[in-house]
Structure 1
């Protein structure tokens, strides 16, 4: 990696916990933060409990950091007021603090839900217009827009990872196209902190599944080479769901359950699923 001091947000979450273990051995200093409690820091890891929505707190968090891996914020669909306060206003605070502190690069956990209303029969690339499927998805679209602004205006680089369904193993038919393994997720983050020049790059986060919704041609410079595949679970998944309802939006759109109209107060699916 080309960055010595890295801030990891959302470090108490499922994916953040995985990233803590992978990033710590590769950097000089890892500062892990979350609004929730964390434990068992690595020798070179600093644990900081903080609210990113507080600009002064964000400024303290980014002080001395070269890069940020941002996996923080509300991780499920909920009311727009909560999403706006945490995932939109909080994210803007982080970017402004990073800019003022001279941070060089941010790796942003965007999501399939920024483009969730594309049909599952379509294959899209990073130049396709956004089609958010939820309040959560709207916040991811905002985040990608903010990343573009801070690159164009201030030269702060970002890799926005439109994470598919990042779970220990795929569990439904849609995941056969959208699954991202933990190891492949970590590889994207590591590559995003290694490539010398990224500007603002949008990359789709999926493993080496034989079927896919996404074309990563515009992120080829990241050098991501997925190693895992949902195909290993295909027979098990198809046997569990032999006759899917093709009229159900979960089986029609790339955003899956997030495209349902009434899913508040929160989804039972993982945020990136």
Structure 2
């Protein structure tokens, strides 16, 4: 089995490469940045917006994990080119190659202005898009493109509204939004087996979680980690989170604040 991993030189790709390695599996790593292949890996240099390069990178691929693109808020033209055009070019290359499974790494910023539901309920898996930034808008477009390529062309597509993927939570907000690298890899494995079109939250089963895991579990995700093991020193340093503040009450946290929302 050969899996194309775009954006493999980025933070998430670097964390996940060793966790995705399997006997009989080849990871084809794609990026515009330098990469060195390890055992069971291939490296291709490809710009997401270059149709010929992406068609070449897609040859012989069985599944795609799309991590590539602009990962932070940037001017509109940069966001459109890397994240919107790039996702379209990738999906079109997958369609032409006959790839049946594509996982698109979306973001919680596609729904950043949603707030905690009343009564302690979870924010639903398919919460209507409420992007908090231009970056978030691009991830909404990613979800829409994934839906189109499933409905029109039959590609199995899962979009992951990724939370905070690090070795450990770096602040008290992350105690709710964190996904461990191990759980992220487990979610990707489930997504590569899933049929149909799905939007799932990318989060571990944290005690302080408020994003739903229902759809992720429905496709076979079994989270094993909980950020609570990191909580004591963070709470000691930063205090218990005030769940009425935007940082903790809104899915997008500080990115929902006008002064921090990006370049306009």
Q: Secondary structure at the match of 1:69?
A: strand
8 Å CA contact 1:6–1:27 kept in 2: the answer is: no
8 Å CA contact 1:116–1:131 kept in 2: the answer is: yes
Alignment-derived partner of residue 201 in structure 1? 198
8 Å CA contact 2:159–2:199 kept in 1: the answer is: yes
Root mean square deviation, CA, Å: 1.9
CA drift at 1:200:
0.8
Alignment-derived partner of residue 271 in structure 1? none
8 Å CA contact 2:160–2:201 kept in 1: the answer is: yes
1:9 aligns to 2:3 (yes or no): no
8 Å CA contact 2:7–2:67 kept in 1: the answer is: yes
Q: Secondary structure at the match of 2:21?
A: helix
CA drift at 1:187:
0.7
The one-character-per-residue Cα deviations of 1:78-123 (angstroms, maximum 9, x if unpaired) are 1111100100011100001110110111111111111111114552
1:165 aligns to 2:161 (yes or no): no
**TM-score calculated relative to the size of structure 2:** 0.92
Change (3 A) 1:235 1:121: farther
8 Å CA contact 1:78–1:264 kept in 2: the answer is: no
Alignment-derived partner of residue 132 in structure 2? 133
Alignment-derived partner of residue 110 in structure 1? 106
- Work out the CA distance in 1 between the residues paired with 2:262 and 2:251: 21
**TM-score calculated relative to the size of structure 1:** 0.89
Q: Secondary structure at the match of 1:139?
A: helix
Within a 5 Å distance, the mapping from 1:1-273 to structure 2 comes to 4-39=1-36, 41-120=37-116, 123-193=122-192, 195=193, 197-242=194-239, 249-263=246-260
8 Å CA contact 2:126–2:200 kept in 1: the answer is: no
8 Å CA contact 2:133–2:262 kept in 1: the answer is: no
Unaligned runs of 5+ in 2: none
CA drift at 1:216:
2.5
Moved more, 237-246 or 78-87: 237-246
Q: Secondary structure at the match of 1:106?
A: strand
Moved more, 120-129 or 150-159: 120-129
CA drift at 1:67:
0.6
- Work out the CA distance in 2 between the residues paired with 1:55 and 1:260: 37
May I ask how many residue pairs the two structures share in their alignment? 260
CA drift at 1:154:
0.4
- Work out the CA distance in 1 between the residues paired with 2:114 and 2:149: 27
CA drift at 1:256:
1.3
- Work out the CA distance in 1 between the residues paired with 2:133 and 2:23: 35
Unaligned runs of 5+ in 1: 267-273
Q: Secondary structure at the match of 2:87?
A: helix
